[in-house]
Structure 1
Amino acid sequence: MNSTPAHPLADIRIALKRLPHGEGLPMPAYASTGAAGMDVVAAESLTLAPGARHAVATGFAMAIPAGYEVQVRPRSGLALKNGITCLNSPGTIDSDYRGEVKVILANLGQDNFTITRGDRIAQLVPAPVQRASFDLVDDLNDTARGSGGFGSTGVTSA
């Protein structure tokens, strides 16, 4: 008997084109059956100095189906252990983009961080996209929160 439950949603199919500098690298893949994100690896080697950022090549391009995006998210281990994170996170790869996927990494740590070709650098999470349109109005309906902004919820008056 199979102890792994079936995933409740059907997989979407994403066409992936391997670029010449990505030859020999693994395709994005889930590391476990319960993983939400697919690990993606670097197609180049470099050193990120403290405070530096770089759009790291992955060596592939994708054709994401209409109605979906792919989000680029940091790897928690790199963030905790080394201060390496993705800027613009989660980054969005739109369904009509056909260029190379690059991951904007930043070194928030205090030491140089070396990335070697083939190192896992981020996660990719496919997600459905809900489109919206706006209706211009003169007034908005009232709520208990009103226009209270940053840090205004959960605060009691003295």
Structure 2
Amino acid sequence: MTDKIRGFQIVSAYEGKGIKLPGRKTGSSAGYDIEAAENVTLVPHKVVLVPTGLKAYMQNDEYLGIHVRSGISIKNSVSCVNSQGIIDADYYNNPENEGHIMVPLINHGEKNFFIAKGTRVAQGIFYKYLTVDGDSAGVGAERTGGFGSTGK
């Protein structure tokens, strides 16, 4: 991994299943379009984790922000339940789920909303972040799991 800076890969469970690596649509697009890896139905007022079949690698001082695409959000009353998903650098290849990115969507409408495999549901944007003086979170700490593995 030393020669790679940041990018996307397909998780092993989805290899050979027609998953596309995210791309930007224009030269000024900030986000990499992320597709649903399976058909999913969003029922009203429930959170559903939409599988992407993807994992992301990046530098230790970066994270991947996951944002619902505006077309889906505005036209269908769907949002990312945590506003912006945050994929930490050490989520990549974690032993629990290989770093599989799941998009937590909630349907605010009153009717089911169907998402077909291959629908662009989210955008991923890579961000740098800063830490405070004396921060020691990375000293000896290593991620051991997936969702919520760093505690409450």
Identify the TM-score tier after normalising by the shorter chain: 0.7 to 0.9
Alpha-carbon distance in 1 for matches of 2:8, 2:74? 30
Q: CA deviation at 1:15?
A: 4.2
What's the CA shift string for 1:77-117, capped at 9, x where partnerless?
11111011111121110011121011001101121100111
Residue 56 of structure 2 corresponds to which residue in structure 1?
62
Q: 2:28 aligns with which of 17, 30, 34?
A: 34
Q: Secondary structure at the match of 1:100?
A: coil
Q: Does 1:123 align with 2:123?
A: yes
Normalised TM-score (structure 2):
0.74
Cα drift, residue 21 of structure 1: 2.1
1:17 aligns with 2:9: yes
- 1:1-158 superposed matches below 5 A: 13-19=5-11, 20-21=13-14, 23-98=17-92, 99-133=99-133
User: Comparing both chains, which one has the higher relative contact order based on Cα–Cα distances under 8 Å and sequence gaps of 6 or more?
Assistant: 2
Unaligned 5+ segments in structure 2 are: 93-98, 135-152
Unaligned runs of 5+ in 1: 1-11, 135-158
Paired positions, count: 123
Distance in 2 (CA, whole Å) between partners of 1:72 and 1:106 is 14
1:94-150 per-position Cα deviation (integer Å, ceiling 9, x unaligned): 01112101100110112110011111111101000111258xxxxxxxxxxxxxxxx
Write the distance in 2 (CA, Å) between the matches of 1:15 and 1:122: 16
Question: Does the 8 Å contact 2:62/2:89 carry over to 1?
Answer: yes
Q: What do you get for the CA RMSD once the two structures are aligned?
A: 1.7
